[in-house]
Chains A and B, each alone.
Chain A
């Protein structure tokens, strides 16, 4: 993973446990005239740290984020280049925009200087599957290569797609996850849509998921890829197994977020499907990594959906919302939540939600709080909800031999 809090899972989880927020004033571009000057930016991101001295000019920021996190995932899982030459490793990447910045720059240069001076290299990065294509080239990933784009749920959906490839026997090893870069073009879109938090006080106070004072989300950027493998293959090669994907579910709200009831129902359907898929009952879920991002309606709808599935169990359910510290990383959000959940399962500690002081009235989240808490997680639920209709849920379970 490459995130605004670092590139080592243990270190990032440690920062989350200590309530360190990556949400700070943006350095990457000028925020003059924008309503929100904050984001979870990866400051001084240098892909050569992960990819060596190769020429990185053909790769834009998103491609660099993905290729870099793929490098880390391949190393971490022990899939050497030699192994990749004999066994096909796939890549399923979720991204909402890939690079709106590259697309826009390509177009603007052609407008300004004339189409004869458009950059051919940039053009190859204007397709939304560019980052997964570039990453496959860098790392010789010749298996199934797919890009999934379902808004903010893209990354979690990609993990579900990857898991299904393995379940159906179409693949034995797949890197699955998501990525999103911070850029002016997409940021502007969110700002104009009124979805971002307003903060008159110092950075770090907002966003506050579930809090009565919450006033919007903060965007972030990053990439996270999980190496998914068929259990038999993993055992055969003596791989270290971090967790099992027990189940997943997804659904769509036809009102695109305009109708409360439909929105809540869609989130609830995704959760129920994941439970059914995992053959689990609600009380068997030991903690929830919520999609909550500080949105007034979004957070509330997620709580209502959780209540409709878990009923009175809700107040016993430990809940975290890591977007409070990483920001809403769109395509990367679900995978980053999944990665953090792996550490929670291993370490037995769930990050808190910093700044959470007054949970909104009517949110029966007794076990959501500002500080970290000890948890014994056999099954963890991860929710990912979009801004305009998509919902996806994933259940990760502790692997026991």
Chain B
């Protein structure tokens, strides 16, 4: 059984661009997707900005199912999946259906469907909600819709571990492939902009009013966003056989649970540290070999400080020499899609030997004293990249991507 599993395709729908090329180019340029929220009225809130996907036409990507009968997160997921398959040069009709699978992560699933339910409920018109509620709302529909659109009849899993979900979904896909249960897996995450999510984070005082400034002394919080990221995973042997472009190999992962608090990380970043250590051990990576870290870096006071602490505990003297950037500075926090998009970024970093910046970093917090690649992208030889993600509920996940033997 092939234990070397590689990434041969990347598809993304993000606030700074759709499709790998546009996205990567805009990211390296330091473009921000943060703007005034358009999808609902924020006048009753004390914050008004978010990172929404602009100009997305579901019909461009949803060809078999009816786009009008899909929630937004499903639309994003299908778009990213199609883009990833095209990027990999794979025709879904060429695959053994029963051995092609989907593993996706999310935080909210399809929140607009329950928001619609609530709106109807509140206006005494609940009878407006019909059978479509059950067909569109429960979060498993995201992976299900991707599979139905593409004809994938194999493993089909939804892992809703909130802000770390993308990493969990990719980790699961890796295991499925190594166990020989699939020939190809689409793995990633998707989340749609949600009033519920925005309200919650705003109420927690976690939302920044203007920009997202991870690691900056004056950072004021995170900015909710939306999007999707999907990777094509296949065995190295099959990628070689068909002469596919290989971005990177998925080396391994580590998962841990803080078991401490629902919305606050462990005060010493212990869970984050364990996830990183496990990822290094799982992938048999020497800490000295890590050339880039994609941080969780939400821009909140506590996350950035604790994450820095955890990185230092794991990498010790090496920590200061590893470029570590947070693309949430540009994309905002795309929730369940975040770590999937960030994994895509790690794959692109490995492939291109270039790393994106942390923008809006003007005056680093003295407690955040690592090299966060401030404001400008940089050429770096990236042999091994680590992708970190931390979620509500204390779910922590670290993923290791590295140059494939073919690169």
Contacts and interface: CB of A to CB of B under 8 A. Distances in A.
Is A in direct contact with B (CB under 8 Å) within the complex?
Answer: yes
B21 to A, nearest CB: 30
Contacts of A314: none
Given A104-B114, A133-B392, A151 B159 contact: no
Nearest to B46: A116
A144 interface: yes
B117 interface: yes
Contacts of B156: 150, 250-252, 389-390
Most B CB contacts (10 A, CB to CB) among A58, A90, A120, A255 go to: A120
A63 B131 CA distance: 27
B199 to A, nearest CB: 5
Contact of A389 (B126, B148, B197, B392): B148
Interface stretch (B26-34, B137-145, B294-302, B357-365): B137-145
Given A111-B119, A114-B44, A193-B135, A252 B160 contact: no
B202 interface: yes
Interface stretch (A122-130, A282-290, A300-308): A122-130
In the A-B complex, the 8 residue pairs with the smallest Cβ-Cβ separation, listed nearest first, are A133-B393, A123-B200, A145-B257, A128-B160, A252-B156, A189-B134, A124-B262, A193-B131
Nearest to B145: A256
Q: How large is the interface on A (under 10, 10 to 19, 20 to 34, 35 or more residues)?
A: 35 or more
Contacts of A338: none
Interface stretch (A135-143, A228-236, A315-323): A135-143
Question: At the interface, is chain A mostly helix, strand, loop or mixed?
Answer: mixed
Contact of B151 (A58, A150, A254, A387): A254
Interface string B52-89: 00000000000000000000000000000000000000
Given A168-B175, A256-B148, A127 B162 contact: yes
B126 to A, nearest CB: 7
A112 interface: yes
B131 A192 contact: yes
A132 interface: yes
Given A149-B140, A254-B151, A390-B156, A129 B395 contact: yes
16 contacts: A104-B117, A111-B122, A115-B44, A115-B45, A116-B46, A120-B263, A123-B201, A128-B107, A129-B160, A145-B161, A149-B109, A149-B139, A168-B179, A188-B126, A252-B154, A387-B134
Contacts of A192: 129-131, 133-134
A58 B262 CA distance: 9
Contact of A151 (B115, B129, B140, B154): B140
B405 interface: no
Most B CB contacts (10 A, CB to CB) among A123, A170, A188 go to: A123
B259 interface: yes
Given A118-B199, A147-B161, 6 more contacts: A126-B108, A133-B262, A161-B157, A161-B172, A189-B137, A256-B148
Given A58-B262, A251-B153, A145 B394 contact: yes
Nearest to B149: A254
A266 B197 CA distance: 35
Contacts of A130: 262, 392-393
A157 interface: yes
Interface string A189-221: 110111100000000000000000000000000
Contacts of A253: 153
Interface residues of B, number: 78
A266 B97 CA distance: 11
Interface in A67-111: 90-91, 96-98, 100, 103-104, 106-108, 110-111
A14 interface: no
Contact of A185 (B98, B117, B158, B282): B117
A91 B114 CA distance: 28
Interface string A242-271: 000000001111111000001000100100
A148 interface: yes
B257 A255 contact: no
B153 A252 contact: yes
Interface in B151-186: 151-162, 168, 172, 175, 178-179
A108 B118 contact: yes
Contact of B257 (A128, A136, A193): A136
Contacts of B44: 114-116
Interface string B231-264: 0000000000000000000000001111111110
A388 interface: yes
Nearest to A157: B157
B376 interface: no
B140 A142 contact: no
A153 B5 CA distance: 27
Contacts of A127: 107-108, 160, 162, 391-393
Contacts of A195: 134
B255 A144 contact: yes
A291 interface: no
A104 B133 CA distance: 13
Contacts of A96: 138, 140
A385 interface: no
Nearest to B136: A189
B196 A136 contact: no
Nearest to A115: B199
A127 B162 CA distance: 6
Nearest to B147: A252
Contacts of B111: 103
A254 B144 CA distance: 8
A389 B118 CA distance: 27
Contact of A91 (B115, B160, B257): B257
A385 to B, nearest CB: 13
A255 B148 contact: yes
Contacts of B197: 126
Most B CB contacts (10 A, CB to CB) among A58, A128, A266, A387 go to: A128
Most B CB contacts (10 A, CB to CB) among A108, A150, A255, A387 go to: A150
Contacts of B289: none
Contacts of B154: 251-252
B137 to A, nearest CB: 7
Most B CB contacts (10 A, CB to CB) among A118, A126, A252, A387 go to: A252
Contact of A154 (B46, B98, B140): B140
Contacts of B178: 168
Contacts of B126: 188
Contacts of A62: none
A388 B144 contact: yes
Interface in A151-167: 151, 154, 157, 161, 164
A46 to B, nearest CB: 22
A230 to B, nearest CB: 16
B200 A254 contact: no
